[in-house]
Amino acid sequence: MLAFLFTFVFVLVVQPLFIRWLNERGIRGQPIREDGPKAHEAKRGTPTMGGMVVVVAVLLSTLLLADLTNVKVWLALLVMNGFAYLGFVDDWKKIEKQDSKGLSERGKLFVQFGLGAGVAIILCLLGGSTDLTIPFCKDVTIKLGVVGFVLFTSFMLAATSNAVNFTDGLDGLAIGPVMTVACTYAIFAYLAGSPKYAEYLGIHHENGAAELAIMLSSIFAAGLGFLWYNTFPAQIFMGDTGSMALGGTLGFIAVLVKQELILLVAGGVFVIEAASVVIQRYYYKFTKKRVFRMAPIHHHFELAGWAEPKIIVRFWIISIVLAILALTSLKLR
């Protein structure tokens, strides 16, 4: 609760100061895709990199209130800050050149996979489990081995980071599902960290996992505070600084609490958004035709005539339902 309150108030107070600071220094805002919906022209010049305040708030809250002797906490912070820095460089390049492309895809993937491999190797050296748990099944795991675990973790972090990034295309669209996933995994972390609850529910017990609930509570609160300024019409965008950091962190925490695959359910909105991009790209590559009017899929609905607030709220509703479905895996085994 303290983590929640501290982070929420911090973002609520600091975010407007950050917006003013960006405007006073004439730092140009978010470049808009030239092939995007025409309604997005009104967003041109809106300040970006608001995720920086979110990341700083979560960092401070975790350092103040979490157990700093817990290695899992430090690894999660390392992932968050590493992905935030990558996102910041991407954002700054877009702003500087006023081009929506930013860093190359290969360059971003190289860094994302590198960070994922690094923290996975550290976990293995610390004696962490390399097994993959199967949701809705009791005592069923897949033994990945060290190499398989490192590859899986690297993919997990890159995938979740990019999926949240793809979702961050409408005002408040990404931060809503980030909050529901953070809340879901705060519950998973707390239960997995308790030997008694883990045994009762038949889930994998992970020493020290409960401390991650503090960080996840901070992410939820930071999202709530950020939404105050990011709701339609947005005063500031999260930018890659925030979306990559939050996506990578949620993916890594799913690995830490041994609830990796259930993220496909809890983060179903992110999965749909990322899948729409992959389907569109490769279908067009081989057939020169499009499945969607535009990808990610939220733009498809925009071009179909849905109002932006309607798309956002309906995606939030789907995210909440999927989060509840993911939590049922605790009992349906």
Q: What is the pLDDT of residues 183-198, one digit of tens each?
A: 999 999 999 999 999 9
Across 155-174, average pLDDT: 94
Residue linked to tokens 């990019």? 162
Q: What is the mean pLDDT of residues 324-329?
A: 95
Whether the per-residue pLDDT at 97 is higher than 90: the answer is: no
Instruction: Give the separation between CA 244 and CA 190, rounded to whole angstroms.
Output: 24
Reported as a pLDDT band with limits 50, 70 and 90, residue 98 is: confident
Q: Could you say which DSSP state residue 39 is in?
A: G
Q: In this predicted model, which residue has the larger pLDDT, 25 or 299? A: 299
Where are the chain's structural domains? 2-29+39-330
Q: Looking at the predicted structure, is the pLDDT value of residue 30 above 70?
A: no
C-alpha pair distances (Å), 326 with each of 74, 96, 186 = 26, 41, 13
The per-residue pLDDT for 45 is 75
Q: What integer pLDDT is reported at residue 274 of this predicted model?
A: 95
Note if the bond before 296 is cis, omega within 30 degrees: yes
* 13-22, 99-108, 240-249, 255-264: least confident range: 99-108
pLDDT at 72: 96
**Percent of the chain with pLDDT strictly greater than 90:** 77
Name residues whose C-beta falls within 8 Å of residue 191's C-beta, 6 or more positions apart in sequence.
197, 198, 201, 203, 330
CB atoms within 10 A of CB 139: 10
Confidence of residue 179 (pLDDT cuts 50, 70, 90): very high
- Nearest alpha carbon to residue 56 among 250, 229, 242: 242
Residue 41 confidence class, pLDDT cut points 50, 70, 90:
low
Using CA atoms, how far apart are residues 98 and 102, in angstroms rounded to an integer? Answer: 9
Where helices occur in 25-144 by DSSP H, the ranges are 51-65, 71-97, 105-125
Average pLDDT rounded to a whole number, residues 269-282: 95
What is the reported pLDDT for 46?
85
